[in-house]
Amino acid sequence: MASILIIDDERPIRSTLKDILEYEKIKISEAEDGPKGIELFKKNEFDAVLCDIKMPGMDGLEVLEQLQAINPDVPVIMISGHGTIDTAVESLKKGAYDYISKPPDLNRLLVSVRNALDRKDLVKETKKLKKKAGEKSNSPIIGTSEGIMEVKAMIEKVAPTEARVFITGPNGVGKELVAQQIHEKSGRSKAPFVEVNCAAIPSELIESELFGHEKGAFTSAIKQRIGKFEQASGGTLFLDEIGDMSLSAQAKVLRALQENKITRVGGEKEISVSPRVIAATNKNLVEEIENGNFREDLYHRLSVIVIKVPSLNDRRDDIPLLIQHFIGGISAETGMPSKDFDNNALSYLSQLNWTGNIRQLRNTIERLLIMGENVIDKATAEKYA
């Protein structure tokens, strides 16, 4: 349930706003002046604030400044019965999300509150994604085998360029990590890294996902949507599992790569975009081209540089290093104590058939850390691997 703080010296106004918003299933807290509102704001988490401007003692603009200093991510909607254009502009300049005159129009108020709550959710999600991206970008590519050293060398060479990169390899080998490393080592590292899993999006929605859509473009298009090509403009667009993309979407991706322009679904205006595109697949695209499932011209557009990530079975010498890496990471994430693997356990795990590659190995190590004793021996590895 969303939570909103109302700061207003007039009890009837607070009561009216409370009744309206509680009917919308919003939890309400009240304060009759600025200092009490600030104190409540410090002690509680709110999704939005409604604040009167004209109050005795501390006025709303002073309150706004202090709320912004405490937590600038919480949207503050200013309300006033003595408002002027200058007052509205000043409050917006100081960081207010919106300005509403008293007595508030019901529809105007609800629209502003809903938009403010949507913004708060978007800020939360953006921070979560940035944190996740930061964690991933700090993850090194582990290994010293010949195959993985070739991958690292390719990343160092290609990252500073603008060349499109095509990453191949079976599921679970770390193609996404390779794409992230290319982005992090490029001149675009401060711009967004935007990922699209082409296999996870229904074919009828992939064009909207990639290019966006205009409001009313189709039944469920209730508002305009910015597509991934626009979001990644100036940064990197990672098209994962591109071998699963429909032929109609492939044709539009090809056009976007050729012209650096896209058109949103349901729109007519051409929009210039400039993402660096990195694509990946676990499929044999030469066979897919022969079978008519993938466009040859798109393949050649994407594969300026091809990086083949080896399977775990082709880099067994790296398994002990990966195990140590996963022990540290899993212990830090879950709070489980770190455990040692004896040489016999390491040798046994290095010889298994890892069809699920890195992903399977990590899951196995987590299971062994949960089920095993202080030292993981071969018998424990055989039982739970």
Among candidate residues 163, 151, 77, the one with its CA nearest the CA of residue 116: 77
Q: What is the pLDDT of residue 128?
A: 61
- DSSP code per residue over 40-100: HHHHS--SEEEEES--SSS-HHHHHHHHHHH-TTS-EEEEESS--HHHHHHHHHTT-SEEE
Alpha carbon 158 to chain centroid distance?
Answer: 25
The encoded tokens of residue 150 equal: 């070739």
User: Which of 125, 155, 178 represents a domain boundary (last residue)?
Assistant: 125
Span 226-269, pLDDT tens digits: 899 999 999 999 999 999 999 989 999 999 999 999 999 888 88
Q: What is the pLDDT of residue 138?
A: 47
Range of the domain at 238: 145-310
Residue 169 and residue 303 in one domain: yes
Helix, strand, coil tally for the chain in percent (to 5): 50, 15, 35
Q: What is the pLDDT of residue 133?
A: 45
Torsions phi, psi of 168, nearest 5? -120, 160
Please report whether residue 161 resides in a domain: yes
Residue 77 and residue 42 in one domain: yes
Please report whether residue 138 resides in a domain: no
pTM of full prediction above 0.85: no
Please report whether residue 139 resides in a domain: no
Residues of the chain with pLDDT under 70: 82-84, 125-139
Q: What is the pLDDT of residue 136?
A: 46
| Burial degree of 349 (CB within 10 A; 0-12, 13-18, 19+) | buried
The number of folded domains in the chain is 3
Residue 342 and residue 279 in one domain: no
Span 32-55, pLDDT tens digits: 999 999 999 999 999 999 999 989
Among candidate residues 110, 15, 95, 86, the one with its CA nearest the CA of residue 63: 95
CATH number of domain containing 295 = 3.40.50.300
Residue 92 and residue 227 in one domain: no
Please report whether residue 271 resides in a domain: yes
User: Which of 286, 310, 334 represents a domain boundary (last residue)?
Assistant: 310
Please report whether residue 140 resides in a domain: no
Please report whether residue 172 resides in a domain: yes
CATH number of domain containing 92 = 3.40.50.2300
- DSSP code per residue over 240-301: ETGGGS-HHHHHHHHHHHHHSEEE-BT---EEE--PEEEEEESS-HHHHHHTTSS-HHHHHH
Residue 317 and residue 301 in one domain: no
Please report whether residue 137 resides in a domain: no
Q: What is the pLDDT of residue 348?
A: 96
CATH number of domain containing 333 = 1.10.8.60
Please report whether residue 136 resides in a domain: no
Residue 163 and residue 202 in one domain: yes
Residue 165 and residue 232 in one domain: yes
User: Which of 125, 154, 171 represents a domain boundary (last residue)?
Assistant: 125
Among candidate residues 100, 121, 101, the one with its CA nearest the CA of residue 48: 121
Residue 272 and residue 150 in one domain: yes
Residue 304 and residue 351 in one domain: no
Residue 165 and residue 294 in one domain: yes
Residue 152 and residue 288 in one domain: yes
Q: What is the pLDDT of residue 134?
A: 46
Residue 167 and residue 291 in one domain: yes
